[in-house]
Amino acid sequence: MRESTLMEKVTRRTISSFIFFIVSSTILFLAGKSSAKISHNGDNNVTALFLFGDSFLDAGNNNYINTTTLDQANFPPYGQTFFGLPTGRFSDGRLISDFIAEYANLPLIPPFLEPGNSQKKLYGVNFASAGAGALVETFQGSVINLRTQLDHYKKVERLWRTKFGKEESKKRISRAVYLISIGSNDYSSIFLTNQSIPISMSQHVDIVIGNLTTFIHEIYKIGGRKFGFLNVPDLGCFPALRILQPKNDDSCLRDASRLASMHNRALTNLLFQMQRQVKGFKFSLFDMNKSLRLRMQHPSKFGFKEGEEACCGTGKWRGVFSCGGKRIVKEYQLCENPKDYIFWDSLHLTQNTYNQFANLIWNGGHMSDSLVVGPYNINKLFQIP
């Protein structure tokens, strides 16, 4: 009897030791996996993240402005995958910026207009607005354009000077990373609102790039040095623009795709020129256009089942912008598993797609990786003092 009890004790102890070994090994493995993340030794060494642009980065600023449901996503099924409720993000869950903040060991970056404790804004601020463009005229009156986003940033910079003092604030502004997604609405709005441009395509692109150039120089003048950019995706292949083609034509909307390509060439030229001419200017440019096209053409290669149709919407490719039933068209269908889809609604992407893009932005930039252009990826930008 005693011998049996002793054997049971030994067995239990052996099992416990084995479990402890497995758990400890797992923790060490996970710690190793996360070592690529940035470590902050107290708030004084925090590298803040500032976000500017459109719906690819907007975490809810449009919840707080007088606009229409076309430029809002504060109703179900938005947010269903991760948050379990709508937050104002145009996705089923998190955006690229949310994953970047996680990799950098930062909390979710709050929208500038979100009421609450200003303490949260010490790790960065999200100024992006769904529908916004580099041009003031883009969806004017319904969104927060890039110029106004810059005004909001200046208010935060003044807040920091009051909080930290002039010298410390200057260091933090210089150390911060500025992630920007702008331009898509300046081009897609032409087709979505059935406008005609009174100037040539190249002139239109020049004006958009000119406004973006002014914006970058303003941030630089205040002290910003480290910039990340998403280029403009292949707009003509988005479901909402694709359905604008004449009947029986399943191809992408050529002029919209052409404008995106022209913008991206001009943006690349601008950034490399600034790197040569502007002291201390550092950048990372993510080729969102190419990355999205690769996934649309070969969805299964990247773990998707559907590369053209949106998860949420109605009509062909679910290209009618009706997700949630609170827009002009009330009818919509919702897919069973958003993870299988590249597009969430007819103009935006799923959390799964954004997750893959964030990984490329954070880790990319190797010689074999043409999706991140420039001498830095975002991870490296965060590590630069």
Nearest in space to 97 (alpha carbons), one of 137, 119, 127, 77: 127
Nearest in space to 358 (alpha carbons), one of 103, 17, 36: 103
Say which of 54, 55, 97, 284 is annotated catalytic: 55
Q: What CA–CA distances, in Å, run from 241 to 106, 150, 227, 250, 347?
A: 36, 29, 30, 11, 8
Residue 345 catalytic? yes
| CA–CA dist 312, 350 (Å, integer) | 10
3-state secondary structure of 282: strand
Nearest-5° Cα angle at 313, 312 to 319: 115
Say which of 71, 98, 287, 345 is annotated catalytic: 345
Question: Which residue matches tokens 């990373």?
Answer: 177
Residue 152 catalytic? no
Residue 298 catalytic? no
| CA–CA dist 175, 226 (Å, integer) | 7
Nearest-5° Cα angle at 100, 384 to 112: 100
3-state secondary structure of 103: helix
DSSP of 254-294 = HHHHHHHHHHHHHHHHHHHHHHHHSTT-EEEEE-HHHHHHH
Say which of 58, 91, 257, 348 is annotated catalytic: 348
| CA–CA dist 333, 311 (Å, integer) | 8
Catalytic machinery residues: 55, 345, 348
